Chains A and B, each alone.
Chain A
Amino acid sequence: MEISHIKQEINMTEALMTRINELISHYPADKKKSALLPVLHEVQDAHDNWLSVELQNKVAEILEIKPIEVYEVVTFYTMFNQRPIGKHMFEFCQTSPCCQRGVEDLMDYTCDKLGVKVGEPTADGQFEVRGVECLGACGYAPMMQLGDFYQEHLTKEKIDQLIADCKDGKITLHDK
């Protein structure tokens, strides 16, 4: 995917800026950079879950740091997306305890049902399936993350229901 060709509309709303300023206030005045990770989460949530280079530059400007200081962080942490992703991202935990409880079969099932491969969004951009590492829900396996929340004790029936609920707009993705 040619990332540089995808334009992202930047919209730093008043509500978003208020939250960013609140986050900055959690650190000493000369340690603004410390707010980088929380600020990136907020900015990403408000921009269709991804961070273009332009948007990253904007964050650098707000925190008064160099753009490279933002890029190196965005590329290090798995939760920051550098390209548009499926609106409903099914992030299955594929580490050992979830495998013991059948997550691999469920991932195959979900991909078949959506007609996609892991890591490729559906044509309408509504869904994407990813395999991620341990999410800290081993006792409630198999499970996945969907937006800010966990979906646990998954079964094929639950997957069917979740897909239907996503299509009907019944799923809350962010806890604001």
Chain B
Amino acid sequence: MGRKILLDKINVPGIKTYEVYRREGGYASVEKALKTLTPDEVTEEVKTSGLRGRGGAGFPVGMKWSFIDKKSGNPRHLVCNADESEPGTFKDRYLMEYIPHLLIEGMITSSYALGANLSYIYIRGEYMWVYKILERAIAEAKAAGWLGKNILGTGFDLELYVQIGGGAYICGEETALIESLEGKRGNPRLKPPFPAVKGLWQNPTVVNNVESIASVPWIVNNSGAEYATIGIGRSTGTKLISASGNIKNPGVYEIELGVSVYEFMNSDEYCGGMQTDRPLKALVPGGSSVPILPANLIYKTAAGEDRLMTYESLSDGGFATGSMLGSGGFIVYDDRACIVRNTWNFSRFYHHESCGQCTPCREGTGWLEKVLWRIENGQGREEDIELLWSIQSKIEGNTICPLGDAASWPVAAAIRHFKDEFEYHIRFPEKVKNRDHFVAEPFEKVKHLVAKQEI
């Protein structure tokens, strides 16, 4: 059994309520931090822990905190990014829904470290019932004296509120999130200045993912050094993985970073193997934005080493043969899945979610969607694969925010690893008219048709 530091209490009856959470040792990190540590000492613990941002980018949390501008004298803010919208990701919701006080405790301890007296949790609009859970939990925490003026008599003041979004993936990008929190459209800002200097209302701001903030209480209670003993190398601690697709046990799992992909996929503690006896075809290990891996690169890297659930191992081989840990949105595909259809599905998502500020993304995502749709529907043209490659390469790196890259990478990876499947769609249009074309006849069985024509 792997060590659990976020979900160890998740099954305690009533843990959702303040009384039970407190009885189980909750809010200890606030007491310890406010009474015995300076804000900089808390930041140092987080730095020592090696905790990396759990939203997807994996930037060290302690370092991000240390960038916050304390010299300007302007009010500082901590904003929790609970806009979880990356396809395949549903871990933050699980934490907030079942153990909301863990996030609130993390927000208080982290706000203290940053010197923030007014902090927000920005939650996606669709999680409306979770928003209500958090609002009620905050009211409980406030009534118990953990929020408000002069907390625990230490002179530290903190007000914490939840802000609800309106349905927009882009608001998970930190500067778009800040715009949205200011009551505007979610258009990402040009950086620099970074939020640590000019963020919410032009004040120094740190934006952190739910899971990152929820990891802080354990780090403060047990020390950063102790946290760093979990995991491998620069992948320290535990990570929540949202497992979905064609597996036996979809759900949220906490793993120690470093467990092998094979074990995570097949052990009964986690995914429990495939949903049916259909074979594994592909894996998206870190949310829809990261490159898809074909079956031969899932359990082993190109170098023949075991693929591990770490930032480094999942990206081993770069984009040529690797992927990314990302948000931990682990989507498994068996051989019924059509890679062309799936890539079209992701492209439709990015087209829908593009904010429209940057031309390459606004127009390019639309082109990707349209070209993929015609291939998938048996109207593809010989030159379409090259066209797709050209479009994605013109979006990547040419936009204000990473949504452009996120839209390009899945398309590039699909072409890189499954080009024959695209060719099959174009050469045998009558065979792909039905959307379930690989259910009765998986691609593996018709693959030879494409290979023959190439000779």
Contact = CB atoms under 8 A, between A and B. Distances in A.
Contacts of A34: 163, 181-183
Contacts of B186: 76-77
A152 B119 CA distance: 32
B130 to A, nearest CB: 10
B14 interface: no
Given A136-B124, A139-B242, A73 B184 contact: yes
A159 to B, nearest CB: 20
B252 interface: yes
A141 interface: yes
A41 B425 CA distance: 44
B85 to A, nearest CB: 6
Contacts of B126: 79, 135-136, 145
A76 B166 contact: yes
Number of contact residues on A: which range applies? 35 or more
Contacts of A65: 183
Interface in B173-192: 180-186
A138 B90 contact: yes
Given A77-B166, A97-B245, A100-B246, A72 B331 contact: no
B331 A37 contact: no
Contacts of A26: 161, 163
Interface string B319-338: 00000000001010100010
Interface stretch (B98-106, B345-353, B379-387): B345-353
Contacts of B288: 95-96, 134
A121 to B, nearest CB: 19
Interface residues of B, number: 56
A157 B22 CA distance: 41
A30 to B, nearest CB: 9
B125 A138 contact: no
B183 A138 contact: no
B89 A136 contact: yes
B181 A138 contact: no
A40 B246 CA distance: 38
B70 interface: no
B185 to A, nearest CB: 4
Contacts of B342: 96, 99
B244 A138 contact: yes
A78 B166 contact: yes
A96 B337 CA distance: 10
Nearest to B160: A26
Nearest to B187: A76
A137 to B, nearest CB: 6
For A31, A40, A77, A136, which residue has the most chain B Cβ atoms within 10 angstroms? A136
Contacts of A95: 87, 288, 345-346, 349
A72 to B, nearest CB: 6
A104 interface: yes
Contacts, number: 146
A38 B164 contact: yes
A76 B168 contact: yes
A38 B165 CA distance: 7
Contacts of A78: 166-168
B369 to A, nearest CB: 12
B185 A139 contact: no
Interface string A48-70: 00000000000000010100010
A150 B126 CA distance: 9
A175 B178 CA distance: 26
A109 interface: no
Contacts of B345: 94-96, 99
A96 B353 contact: no
A28 B89 CA distance: 33
B402 interface: no
A133 interface: yes
A117 interface: no
B163 A96 contact: no
B237 to A, nearest CB: 22
Nearest to A137: B90
Nearest to A100: B245
Given A31-B182, A35-B183, A139-B243, A96 B331 contact: yes
28 contacts: A26-B161, A26-B163, A35-B183, A37-B163, A37-B164, A63-B183, A72-B185, A73-B184, A76-B166, A77-B166, A79-B126, A96-B342, A96-B346, A99-B341, A100-B333, A104-B435, A133-B348, A133-B349, A134-B85, A134-B169, A137-B90, A138-B88, A138-B89, A138-B250, A139-B90, A139-B251, A140-B90, A149-B129
Given A38-B164, A99-B342, 14 more contacts: A26-B161, A31-B182, A36-B184, A37-B164, A41-B164, A73-B183, A95-B346, A96-B87, A96-B331, A97-B88, A133-B87, A133-B352, A134-B85, A145-B126
Interface of B: 84-90, 93, 118, 124-129, 132, 161, 163-169, 180-186, 201, 242-246, 250-252, 284, 288, 329, 331, 333, 337, 341-342, 345-346, 348-349, 352-353, 355, 435
Closest 9 CB pairs of A and B: A77-B166, A36-B183, A138-B244, A139-B250, A78-B167, A79-B167, A148-B128, A33-B183, A134-B87
